[in-house]
Amino acid sequence: MNTRISDAKPPARPRPRPRPSGAVTRALTKGLFLLAGLATTVLGFSWFVDANDAVGAYRTAPVCGTAAHTPGTDCVRRETGKVTARKTGTGGESTTYTLTVARETAPGHSYTVDSEFYYDATIGVDVELAVFRGQVAEVSYHGHRAQNPGTPWLTSLEVALLVGLGSALTATGVSWSRLGLKPAPFYFSIAVFVAVMAFLGCLVFVTSQEPLAATLAVPVLGWLLMTACATVATWDG
């Protein structure tokens, strides 16, 4: 039986997929920038907390050679040093007091102390040294204590780069509009400014060893304020 080919309908063409609207694209872009910025910032602050904990780790570390110390782990070694020189310096309205202490196992070094420590520790007296990870972490004498935290230059730089980048990405995500990346130079300047402030803040807070609540709260509030200012300055709806 013959069929009439002329009456057959051509196969229907697949409908093209609708392209996402501009609003959806902008929302996705804003979300990606925002997530990337927050993740980068959180990573930077986590490194900041780790650096702060590392500087003060000697306080909870066991003394070497005691029952509490497990071989192969970090411990505090107690040494005796001798004060060989004393020096004061004036900067502005403040006075800096410095003691030079000689060690038997390493070259001598100068340590900054307070005025009471300085006047009690005369030249020739023995002071106690707490050595942690090869460096003197604390100097003590008759109840006086002076911390000697190392300066975390590299860690501060790493934290600054992450926090600065995170701030720029977050501001980009929050204020993303039809302008796209046209305000990129402004975002870059914000990142540089935040990075510089984060670098200086990391150096100050890590070496000062203030309570963790204050050490973390002040930088976080500063980051929120600077990021909010950058967002408002570039807001376009």
Whether the per-residue pLDDT at 103 is higher than 60: the answer is yes
C-alpha gyration radius of the chain: 30
Beta strands 94-102 and 109-113, pairing class: antiparallel
One-letter amino acid at 135 equals Q
Whether the per-residue pLDDT at 115 is higher than 80: the answer is yes
Confidence of residue 42 (pLDDT cuts 50, 70, 90): very high
Among residues of the chain, what percentage have pLDDT more than 70? 83
User: Using an 8 Å Cβ cutoff, are 179 and 217 in contact?
Assistant: no
Distance CA 55, CA 129 (A): 16
Query: The tokens of 122 are what?
Result: 């005369």
The CATH number of the structural domain formed by 58-147 is: 2.40.50
Least confident of 37-41, 48-52, 56-60, 176-180: 176-180
Mean pLDDT on 54-70: 83
Distance CA 230, CA 191 (A): 10
Domain ranges in the chain?
Answer: 30-55+152-233, 58-147
Query: pTM surpassing 0.85?
Result: no
